[in-house]
Every structure is written in structure tokens, then in C-alpha cells.
Amino acid sequence: MDIAIRWIPSQCRGDFVIEGGDIALDSPLKSAVMVSLFTDRVAPETVTTDAAAVGIRGAPDAAGSNQDDRRGWWADAYAEMPIGSRLWQMARTIKAGQTSALREVEAICYEALEWLVIDSVAQSISVTAEWASGNSPALLFAVKITEPGKTATQEFLFSWAWEGIN
């Protein structure tokens, strides 16, 4: 068992779950998925064509701008594979019915979770993303994971909202 983390979509953050005055426990796979998706991964210095098409900009930009903050965890400088995801880079993305933004979110999520397959924690991973219905500034995405030696998949559903999405 691992520490239970509850995702709070309206605040775009996770929090530990407290039950009866103690930290609650939950699935280690769920915790690994949440840390992988909702910890900020360092941004690459250059962006792919697909990322640029949905509004992701390279870092650093002009010195002194907020673009020169590539985020990430300092210890990733010593790691073969950084932790977290680049979902934070989607903050400037415009909804406007773009399916390219959805495909980029799926790619970002898979990038964040691929270590599960590399480390044999998961046999396979799939991610699907869609815009929330109506005028909501939210993106919905589902992560399906099949563990080694198992046929049933575990599905984790998340929503991600940010300011400025139209």
C-alpha cells in the first residue's frame, strides 16, 4: 500500500487523504500514476513541431521572462529519466476544438508514464483525452494500465483545468 492521494480538479492539485486522523492508504500504482502526471517535468530546451502547433513555447526565451523557468525537479539533473509530466506547458493552449491539443496531451501523459513499462511495473499503457462538454475550461483524460501477467486493465480518470483556455 501507498499513501492515498486525492486529485482536486478545481484547484489543479493533489492532496493526501486523511481518514480518522491518519494518512489513508491506496494503490501504489495509482500513487505512481498521479505523481508521474501531476509533478512538473522539466521542459526541453527545444520543442517538437507538434508541441509548437498547440502553443507550447521553447525555454528559455528572453532572459528575465517567465519563459526561462523550465520547472522540473532539481535531482532530475542526475537522473536518466526525469519524473513528472509536461502538462503544465499546456496552460497556454487554446481549446478551440483542436484535436491536435488532445493528441499532445496524450503524448505528454504517455511520456510521463512510460517508465512504468520500462521498469516492468506495467505491461501496457493507453491514454485518451477529450474536451469536457459545454463551455468548461477542462480536459478529461483516461489512463488505462495493464500490469504484467494480468488481463484486466486498471483505469484512472482525471480532469485538468487551467485559466485562459477558450
In a domain, 6, yes or no: no
Residue 115 dihedral angles phi and psi, to the nearest 5°: -60, -25
CA distances from 125 to 18, 143, 158 (A): 29, 7, 15
pLDDT at position 42, please?
Answer: 78
pLDDT at position 129, please?
Answer: 92
CATH of the domain at 66: 3.10.450
pTM equals 0.75
Task: Kindly report whether the peptide bond that precedes residue 28 is cis, defined as omega within 30 degrees of 0.
Answer: no
In a domain, 65, yes or no: yes
Per-run averaged pLDDT (10 residues), the chain, 166 residues: 76 81 86 88 70 57 52 72 82 64 89 94 95 76 94 89 54
Number of domains in the chain: 1
In a domain, 135, yes or no: yes
pLDDT at position 65, please?
Answer: 42
pLDDT at position 62, please?
Answer: 44
Containing structural domain, residue 59:
29-161
In a domain, 131, yes or no: yes
Q: Indicate the helix (H) or strand (E) that contains 99.
A: helix 99-118
pLDDT at position 64, please?
Answer: 44
pLDDT at position 103, please?
Answer: 86
